[in-house]
């Protein structure tokens, strides 16, 4: 018998290559993750608006998933909360029922964060082990995973800023926390937008200009979200509740906007300045969204044109909700009605980020199958 019959050459292993079906599965998974992050941001906004973010004064990533279950445990948690400045200065008359209400918001926020981690990590491991991820997507997903891990640490870094010398979290930390969530949300949509079958966007003329303006709008949306976090942290929406004028003028005097010697510190620490720049960035985004709509209407077709229309509509709606959030502070809209309007403003803001991301993604590169 020949040697080659006794010792046959091993058959080369055929690696499983991702298919179009795999692409659709991964894309749907990322859509789900993005949806959960969207929900996380809204719950986080409600947590901020109800002053619930400092109700849990410890960071227990694993055991913290279980809330107090007995009356003794609730009393112990309440006693911990009574030690921080927020309780002493803002809510000295709060009872146990009131504490349980704000605790529930913060607990739900942290629980949702843990759920997002599980929903992202377990399918990622499975898709990776099964060879259903293309090599170009793997580093992007690892980057999103890294942002998620960073977000958990930043969340506690934010909360810890309000436990000792303040009655609320530091506004710059709140803004950073929000922007990281926005990056995770946008990154999931960006990667998902490149998966599965699709057709070119049909940007016939000046595709570079369309693409550049879409990317600029996306960048400005991130800047606007950061300023929105600063406005929320400073409670800047509760001052100068008039529109379109602010402090009696469309552009207030320099001494009003920049009372601090370091001009940039006013952006982070002066409520009227933060609100003013939040408004101005919104106007700039509106102008660019209008130009993008006009350019796409004349020089593009298909999804590129429809995307420009949807983006413009979201921007207009977001500005309208922003104005409503600002001017409807007083009764009869104070309290729960105003919280609903403010949350709608935040939700549509994330909607603007979603459509801006997808519009930029489709103009940067055509959708391709694996």
Residue 11 has pLDDT above 50, yes or no: no
Pair of tokens at residue 141: 């997903």
Q: How many helices (H) and strands (E) does the chain have?
A: 13, 0
Q: Give residue-wise pLDDT tens across range 28-83.
A: 999 999 999 999 999 999 999 999 999 999 998 888 899 999 999 999 999 999 99
DSSP state of 13: P
Tell me what the mean pLDDT of segment 207-232 comes to.
94
Q: Give residue-wise pLDDT tens across range 73-94.
A: 999 999 999 999 999 999 999 9
Residue 6 has pLDDT above 60, yes or no: no
Helix, strand or coil, per DSSP, at residue 246: strand
pLDDT for 205: 47
pLDDT for 288: 98
Q: What is the DSSP string of 56-79?
A: --S--TTGGGSPP-SHHHHHHHHH
Which single residue is written with the structure tokens 């991820």? 133
From residue 125, alpha-carbon distances to 7, 131, 212 in Å are: 36, 10, 35
pLDDT for 337: 85
The fraction of the chain above a pLDDT of 90, given in percent, is 77
pTM given for the model: 0.91
Map out the domains of the chain as residue ranges: 15-196, 200-370
Q: Give residue-wise pLDDT tens across range 282-300.
A: 999 999 999 999 999 988 8
Q: Give residue-wise pLDDT tens across range 152-176.
A: 999 999 999 999 989 999 999 999 9
The backbone region for 95, taken as left when phi is positive above 0, alpha when psi lies in -120 to 50, beta otherwise, is: beta
Q: Which residues pair with 249 in a beta bridge?
A: 246
In CATH, the number for domain 200-370 is 1.20.950
């Amino acid at each position: 018998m020949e040697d080659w019959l006794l010792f046959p050459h091993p058959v080369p292993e055929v690696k499983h290559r991702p298919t179009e079906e795999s692409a659709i599965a991964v894309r749907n998974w990322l859509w789900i993750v993005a949806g959960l992050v969207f929900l996380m941001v809204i719950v986080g906004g409600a947590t901020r608006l109800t002053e619930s973010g400092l109700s849990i004064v410890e960071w227990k990533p694993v055991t913290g998933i279980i809330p107090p279950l007995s009356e003794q445990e609730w009393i112990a948690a309440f006693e911990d909360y009574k030690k921080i400045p927020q309780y002493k200065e803002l809510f000295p008359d709060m009872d146990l029922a009131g504490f349980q209400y704000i605790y529930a918001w913060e607990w739900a926020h942290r629980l949702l964060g843990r759920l997002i981690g599980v929903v992202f990590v377990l399918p990622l491991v499975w898709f990776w082990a099964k060879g259903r991820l293309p090599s170009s997507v793997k580093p992007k997903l690892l980057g999103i995973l890294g942002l998620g891990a960073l977000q958990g640490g930043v969340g506690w870094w934010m909360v810890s800023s309000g436990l000792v010398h303040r009655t609320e979290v530091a506004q710059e930390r709140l803004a950073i926390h929000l922007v990281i969530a926005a990056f995770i949300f946008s990154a999931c949509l960006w990667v998902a937008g490149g998966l599965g079958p699709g057709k070119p966007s049909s940007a016939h003329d000046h595709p570079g200009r369309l693409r550049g303006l879409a990317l600029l709008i996306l960048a400005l949306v991130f800047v606007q979200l950061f300023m929105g976090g600063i406005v929320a942290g400073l409670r800047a929406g509760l001052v100068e509740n008039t529109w379109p004028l602010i402090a009696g003028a469309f552009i207030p005097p320099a001494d009003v906007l920049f009372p601090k010697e370091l001009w940039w510190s006013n952006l982070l620490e002066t409520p009227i300045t933060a609100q003013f720049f939040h408004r101005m960035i919104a106007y700039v985004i509106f102008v660019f969204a209008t130009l993008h709509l006009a350019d796409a209407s004349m020089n593009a077709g298909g999804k590129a044109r429809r995307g420009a229309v949807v983006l413009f509509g979201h921007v207009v709606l977001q500005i309208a909700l922003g104005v409503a959030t600002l001017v409807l502070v007083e009764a009869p809209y104070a309290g729960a009605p105003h919280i609903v309007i403010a949350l709608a403003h935040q939700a549509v803001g994330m909607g603007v980020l979603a459509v801006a991301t997808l519009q930029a993604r489709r103009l940067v590169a055509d959708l391709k199958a694996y």
